[in-house]
């Protein structure tokens, strides 16, 4: 059987799908390779959310073209959001690619495998890996809803991933039970908007119902989910977070802008005031919550003053983590059709740096409050001779110990803090 290497960029959804592809290939007896040159079969799991991501994908595709010239037997599979409905056109552009399949289109992968004599099992088997690329990891990513119905004006995702389709509660519970039997301790439920989970299912179960069901699985220690949408997140969900012990105190709640006119042009369907109110409710109900957000700078027409509104929101709300991105026009989207990309690249860069700079100070202040505190982490793997894991609030922690902490909950004491990660020592329980 071929040795495979999966190259992944993009969001957690892509990471989840790569874990699943790895599981499928393993089921056929394939083995994982550590890099392109060691593989006979490579899978590119692509992202096109911004031009920079797309460029990386195109660069890797041309690198593989060279590799295939030297090794004509190399098989190249491409999935993820580069793959749109025009697969024939893509096939013409990239004749060295052996198979293009849309995100989540596993029947296509399985059928191709069969033709190649790679007997992939139909059964869903996930193969979690940690951030250091090591397997197995005790943390699994579980897609619960595919696609997106929102059409934020800047965003290409709905065009590439299609309309929302939720997986039935029983199917997810069954899968998580099976993973837990195989040693998984933490699951992260993923979807572009997990707050729409279930609206298309009989009886309309929602995310809070799903969290309740999963909480009943005995040996599962932690549950996370992402991404939430400020226009849809419900009080019921916030209360479920507050009351269910296994649900970790962390939320990804992208605000995108601190200016109401820009939010309107983005078609986000909430106001800055509503967003602030939500944050206050969440912090009141779940006092330990850590909050992440996404911000786009340089959206068409964004004035200096409108940008300052984003900056002051950042200063006021004090997020734990912010992902800032410079606006990148995506062909086919509403913003691409309706607005000029009129903010110069240098101005976008300046604004991006400004937010990152302010955020670095805030994150360093927030994290320094953890100094000397005792917290729980789940051992995920080893990197640079140290164990690493995450707190319930999703902060990355490193510690040294000769024991085996993979998949174990450990009590640790924080010794060192920075805006990005923490250092700790093991507490003798």
Nearer to ligand F3S by C-beta: 49 or 295?
Answer: 49
Residues in the chain, total? 429
> 152-171: which residues touch ligand SF4 (CB under 6 A)?
152, 155, 157-158
CA distance 250 to 413: 20
Nearer to ligand F3S by C-beta: 130 or 146?
Answer: 146
Look at residue 151 and give the partner it binds from ligand SF4, ligand SAH, ligand F3S, none, a contact being a CB closer than 5 to 8 Å depending on partner kind: ligand SF4
Residues that bind ligand F3S (CB under 6 A): 10-11, 13-14, 47-49, 80-81, 157, 160-161
Q: Select the residue interacting with ligand SF4 from 137, 150, 293, 359 (CB under 6 A).
A: 150
Look at residue 317 and give the partner it binds from ligand SAH, ligand F3S, ligand SF4, none, a contact being a CB closer than 5 to 8 Å depending on partner kind: none
253 is a site residue for ligand SF4 (CB under 6 A): no
Look at residue 79 and give the partner it binds from ligand F3S, ligand SAH, ligand SF4, none, a contact being a CB closer than 5 to 8 Å depending on partner kind: none
Identify which range of 117-125, 154-162, 163-171, 343-351 contacts ligand SAH by CB under 6 A: 154-162
- Contacts (Cβ under 8 Å, ≥6 apart) of 194: 144, 145, 207, 225, 226, 227, 228
Nearer to ligand SAH by C-beta: 213 or 356?
Answer: 356
Nearer to ligand F3S by C-beta: 12 or 290?
Answer: 12
286 is a site residue for ligand SAH (CB under 6 A): no
Find the Cα–Cα–Cα–Cα dihedral 275, 211, 15, 83, rounded to 10°. -80
Distance set, CA 393 to CA 54, 82, 219, 287, 328 (Å): 31, 33, 20, 11, 31
Contact predicate 327/311, CB 8 Å: no
CA distance 323 to 359: 10
Which among 196, 81, 108, 179 is positioned nearest to 144, based on CA atoms? Answer: 196
Least distance (Å) from ligand SAH to the CB of residue 210? 18
Nearer to ligand SAH by C-beta: 5 or 299?
Answer: 299
Which among 234, 162, 159 is positioned nearest to 195, based on CA atoms? Answer: 234
Please give the full DSSP string across 49-76, using - where no structure is assigned. Answer: SSHHHHHHHHHHHHHHHHHHHH-TT-EE
Look at residue 294 and give the partner it binds from ligand SF4, ligand F3S, ligand SAH, none, a contact being a CB closer than 5 to 8 Å depending on partner kind: ligand SAH
Look at residue 322 and give the partner it binds from ligand SF4, ligand SAH, ligand F3S, none, a contact being a CB closer than 5 to 8 Å depending on partner kind: none
53 is a site residue for ligand SAH (CB under 6 A): no
Nearer to ligand SF4 by C-beta: 52 or 371?
Answer: 52
Interface size with ligand SF4, residues (CB under 6 A): 10
Helix (H, G, I), strand (E, B) or coil at 297: strand
Identify which range of 13-21, 111-119, 149-157, 167-175 contacts ligand SF4 by CB under 6 A: 149-157
The number of beta carbons lying within 10 Å of the beta carbon of residue 404 is 10
User: How would you label 173-211 residue by residue, b for 16+ Cβ within 10 Å and e otherwise?
Assistant: eebbbebbeeebbbbbbbbbbbbbbbeeeeeebbbbbbb
Contact predicate 373/393, CB 8 Å: no
Binding site for ligand SF4 (CB under 6 A): 148, 150-152, 155, 157-158, 192-193, 229
């Amino acid at each position: 059987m071929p040795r495979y290497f999966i190259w992944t960029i993009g969001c957690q959804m892509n990471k989840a799908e790569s874990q699943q592809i790895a599981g499928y290939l393993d089921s056929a007896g394939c083995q994982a390779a550590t890099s392109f040159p060691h593989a006979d079969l490579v899978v590119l799991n692509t992202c096109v959310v911004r031009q920079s991501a797309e460029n990386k994908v195109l660069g890797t595709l041309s690198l593989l073209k060279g590799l295939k010239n030297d090794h004509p037997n190399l098989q190249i599979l491409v999935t993820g959001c580069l793959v749109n409905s025009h697969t024939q056109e893509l096939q013409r552009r990239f004749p060295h690619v052996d198979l293009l399949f849309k995100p989540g289109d596993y029947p296509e992968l399985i059928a191709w495998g069969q033709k190649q004599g790679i007997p992939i099992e139909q059964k869903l088997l996930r193969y979690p890996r940690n951030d250091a690329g090591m397997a197995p990891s005790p943390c699994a990513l579980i897609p619960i809803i595919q696609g997106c119905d929102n059409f934020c004006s800047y965003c290409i995702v709905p065009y590439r991933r299609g309309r929302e389709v939720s997986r039935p509660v029983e199917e997810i519970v069954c899968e998580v039970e099976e993973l837990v039997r195989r040693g998984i301790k933490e699951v992260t439920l993923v979807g572009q908007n997990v707050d729409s989970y279930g609206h298309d299912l009989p009886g309309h179960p929602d995310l809070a119902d799903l969290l309740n069901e999963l909480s009943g699985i005995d040996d599962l220690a932690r549950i996370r989910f992402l991404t939430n949408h400020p226009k849809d997140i419900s009080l019921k969900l916030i209360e479920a977070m507050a009351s269910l012990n296994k649900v970790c105190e962390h939320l990804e709640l992208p605000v995108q802008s601190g200016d109401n006119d820009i939010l309107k042009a983005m078609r986000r369907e909430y106001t800055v005031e509503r967003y602030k109110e939500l944050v206050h409710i969440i912090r009141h109900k779940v006092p330990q919550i850590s909050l992440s957000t996404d911000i786009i700078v340089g959206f068409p027409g964004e004035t200096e003053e409108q940008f300052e509104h984003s900056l002051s929101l950042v200063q006021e709300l004090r997020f734990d983590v912010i992902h800032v991105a410079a606006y990148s026009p995506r062909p086919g989207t509403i913003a691409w059709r309706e607005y000029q990309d009129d903010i110069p690249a240098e101005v976008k860069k300046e604004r991006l740096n400004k937010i990152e700079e302010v955020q670095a100070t805030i994150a360093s202040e927030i994290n320094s409050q953890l100094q000397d505190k005792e917290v729980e982490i789940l051992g995920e793997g080893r990197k640079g001779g140290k164990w690493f894991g995450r707190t319930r609030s999703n902060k990355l922690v490193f510690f040294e110990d000769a024991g085996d902490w993979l998949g174990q909950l450990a009590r640790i004491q924080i010794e060192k803090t920075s805006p990005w990660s923490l250092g700790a020592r093991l507490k003798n329980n």
